[in-house]
A and B are shown apart, each in its own frame.
Chain A
Amino acid sequence: MRGRSALSGPALRMGGLVLALVLLCVVGIVTTGGRFASVGNITTLLALAATTGVVSIGMTFVITAGGIDLSVGSVLGLATVWASTLSTQYLAEDYGWWVIVLTALAVGLAAGLVNGALVAYGKVPAFMATLAMLAAARGLAELIAGRQTQLVEVDPFLDTFRADVLGLPMIVWIFVVVAVAGWFLLNRTTFGRRTVAVGGNPEAARLAGIKIKRHTLYLYGLAGLTAGIGAVMALARTTAGSSTNGTLLELDVIAAVVVGGTLLAGGRGTITGTVLGVLIFSTLTNVFILNNIDSSVQAITKGVIIVGAVLLQQWFAAREKATST
């Protein structure tokens, strides 16, 4: 697709991520033997990765375009609460489980569009606009839920999303579908091209005739939508809506995207990298839990990995620049 030096860069980066993942698995197998490599454990690992994964796909677009969305965790929480209120569940009993799904998606999308409108048309810095949404969405979720956990009792919903398909949980398949769709959207469509252009050089994109404000609105809408999808998955997995759902999720998501190789400054994004980033963090958590290692140690390790990945990224970038001079 691209020139020699540009091709070897991404290939090398992907190789490094795969290597890291394989190493983690080897550590898992060596330290816990059959417990890590069992079908049950891998299924659990993937199911845990799926929610973060879906939201990370949306975040990949926002970050590729040079933005950031800090509100995805709160918006996911709000969507789980809204989609599991008694009235929503009554409606779902009457009309079908899709009412819950539609509510969650609508809440996510709406919150995302508010973010997008503030950033694109209100010219509020993305960091501040989505930080405000982070606080507001969490607050609204608490108000609606009254700080209670709302159990989901719509059986058709649970049956559909807790089912296993071809040996894997439904929510893992959702992650697979969203990731594949995200890859095509970023790499094969005009939407993806605009995203990269806006992130790479917004002024050049604008002067070339790209409607960057409208596109920015769509991007945050997309991130909100993936938070809505994530909410459906969280509802299915935990069978409950709660205002605490998705707390600090934004940190895991941003970490996975950046470790995957998407530039925080914008202009380059990789869905494959994001998926690998999500898997690396989930596997890490899993291996630590299996070894009964304190969660604080786990947090420290995460921090080290993030810093290491960013350092590597910069090393790659410097090397590429040197080759192209």
Chain B
Amino acid sequence: MVDVDPHGAEQQVKQPLLRMRGIVKEFPGARALDGVDLEVRPGEVHCLLGQNGAGKSTLIKILAGAHQPTAGEVLLDEKQVTIPDPVAALRLGIATIYQELDVVDGLTVAENIYLGHELARGGVTRRSEAARNTRAILKRLGHSEISPHREVGSLPAAGKQIVSLARALSRDARVVVMDEPSAVLDSEEVENLHRIVRELTADGVAVVYISHRLEEIRQLGDRITVIKDGRTVATSLAVADTPTDDLIKLMTGRAVEYAFPERPGVAEDAAPVLEVEGLALGDVFKDVSLTVRAGEIVGLAGLVGSGRSEILETIYGARRATSGTVRLGGKRLRGGVDAAVAAGMGLCPEERKSQGLLLDEPVYRNITLSSFARFAHGSWLDEKAERAAAQEQVEALELRPASVDRNARTLSGGNQQKALLARWLVHGCRVLLLDEPTRGVDVGARSEIYSLIRRLADDGAAVIVVSSEIPEVLGLADRVLVISDGRAVHDSPADDIDEHAVLDMVMEGSVP
């Protein structure tokens, strides 16, 4: 899989295809970019690395024509260009594939690919020609099984990404910018994506690749540019010669190890807080039983679609179990989410923005969303008390910026996650369910969130963590349940199992 034939050596002589120099971008009241340099050669995978809020998104939006730089220049083939809008970017051969895939669900694959530059004669679209070309592009991407006439809405996330890529190719893109493309994919699909990226670069296309997964960058990247606080701190490092520690140091400005907090071990006589027995939800998962004791962190490892998120949501009452029981402190839970919350359960959902936060409300109201009624006198809100409680958590969790009045939308991923954890800290939880607590969270904030979760457990909470990252589950949890194809196929202390074994079990069930 790791094809050790770095294009590096032969590329030394090549002229840069794309060059950005001294890019500055100011928003009213904020300087998002403060002198960024980027140099991309044809045929390379150039990784853009940086923490959340470092300015990566702003930079690629400038490349895509969505933002205009305040200062600095963009050169293509050593000629200065301006990119006033997205159409201009595409015309120059720069295509961007965003994290939120921008395909139209109701249109077919071919219609999506030719969206904005329809093949038409006299206003009548030339469907067969579009279909023919689409087929050719999809074949080039190794996905000839996708029909050009298929409605895009019926494709999985990986398929939509292929469509997005195909659209870029239909424009004869010479620079393809990919913003965390692997975040929505499972490991098999990631392999395929990597293969496609390698084929693109073999054809001389330059790929600017953004990812939080350092491992992935090691496998795929040729050179790396690191951005921190809107500035380039290192440019064009060769991937092969740069140790991971150095990269983390560059990104965070300090040496951070992927450190997990120490596991104090759960007392033998610790009382079981959460007892789940024979829980099932239709065809999604069956016969899940687990017990979480006070102070214990239980990790659920499994692929997307294995049923792990649904298990959490069913325990929480957000989905109605078809059979089985959930007990909290020995008392059986009935009813929906409100009953679970009243009994002392809290969930930090997988999709922070769409399931967790009121993005246009201030941070303190997000933190007290589960407890404002408790602060209230009768029906009368006590915003002063709410703000004080929120402020206390903001300081304890080192949420940045430390203001409770900013809208949740303005926070970075890691800080949004902290706000959600703060919600349950204020509410006071006996059982905390965490679904992908570090997705989209940068390396620095990750360790903080890990120790925060451990601290919650040390204070007596029973915690369940769902994660696609197996090292995270193994490093954080006391006990690990492996979920495969809707069943718990393994249950043991985290120390008794290693990453390889978990991976094996996870994969086995996923084979149809």
Interface of A toward B, CB cutoff 8 Å: 1-3, 5-6, 188-193, 196-197, 200-201, 203-211, 267-268, 321-325
Q: Quick check: which of B182-190, B335-343, B461-469, B486-494 contacts chain A, the rest being far away?
A: B335-343
Q: What are 27 A-B interface contacts by the 8 Å CB criterion?
A: A1-B383, A5-B29, A6-B405, A6-B407, A189-B376, A193-B372, A196-B358, A196-B361, A197-B369, A201-B354, A201-B355, A201-B357, A205-B358, A207-B316, A207-B318, A208-B423, A209-B340, A209-B341, A209-B342, A210-B338, A210-B369, A267-B361, A323-B27, A324-B407, A325-B27, A325-B30, A325-B410
A129 to B273 CA separation, bound complex (whole angstroms): 43
Range of interface residues on B (Cβ < 8 Å): 35 or more
A6 to B349 CA separation, bound complex (whole angstroms): 27
In the complex, the answer to whether A190 meets B381 with C-beta atoms within 8 Å is yes
Closest to A187 in B: B381
- Any chain A CB within 8 A of the CB of B171? no
A206 to B339 CA separation, bound complex (whole angstroms): 11
A3 to B407 CA separation, bound complex (whole angstroms): 8
The 8 Å CB contact of B318, one of A191, A197, A206, is A206
Q: Which 8 A-B pairs have the closest CB atoms?
A: A209-B341, A200-B358, A208-B369, A3-B405, A208-B370, A189-B379, A324-B410, A323-B28
A324 to B169 CA separation, bound complex (whole angstroms): 34
Question: Assuming the A-B contacts A193-B372, A201-B358, A322-B27, are A206 and B337 also in contact, with contact meaning beta carbons closer than 8 angstroms in the complex?
Answer: yes
In the complex, the answer to whether A3 meets B342 with C-beta atoms within 8 Å is no
In the complex, the answer to whether A211 meets B405 with C-beta atoms within 8 Å is no
Question: Assuming the A-B contacts A190-B373, A325-B27, A325-B32, are A207 and B347 also in contact, with contact meaning beta carbons closer than 8 angstroms in the complex?
Answer: yes
In the complex, the answer to whether B365 meets A208 with C-beta atoms within 8 Å is no
Q: Is the interface of B mostly helix, strand, loop or mixed?
A: mixed
B residues near A196, Cβ cutoff 8 Å:
358, 361
In the complex, the answer to whether A3 meets B362 with C-beta atoms within 8 Å is yes
Question: Assuming the A-B contacts A206-B318, A323-B29, are A200 and B361 also in contact, with contact meaning beta carbons closer than 8 angstroms in the complex?
Answer: yes
| Residues 377-410 of chain B, each 1 if its beta carbon lies under 8 Å from chain A, else 0 | 0011101000000000000000000010111011
| Residues 10-33 of chain B, each 1 if its beta carbon lies under 8 Å from chain A, else 0 | 000000000000000001111010
**A192, A197, A204, A324, most chain B CB atoms within 10 A:** A204
Interface of B toward A, CB cutoff 8 Å: 27-30, 32, 58, 316, 318, 337-338, 340-342, 347, 349, 354-362, 365, 369-370, 372-373, 376, 379-381, 383, 403, 405-407, 409-410, 423
The 8 Å CB contact of B376, one of A190, A197, A200, A321, is A190
B residues near A191, Cβ cutoff 8 Å:
379
In the complex, the answer to whether B338 meets A204 with C-beta atoms within 8 Å is no
A residues near B354, Cβ cutoff 8 Å:
201, 203-204
In the complex, the answer to whether B372 meets A190 with C-beta atoms within 8 Å is yes
A209 to B208 CA separation, bound complex (whole angstroms): 42
Question: Assuming the A-B contacts A2-B405, A208-B370, A324-B407, are A189 and B381 also in contact, with contact meaning beta carbons closer than 8 angstroms in the complex?
Answer: yes
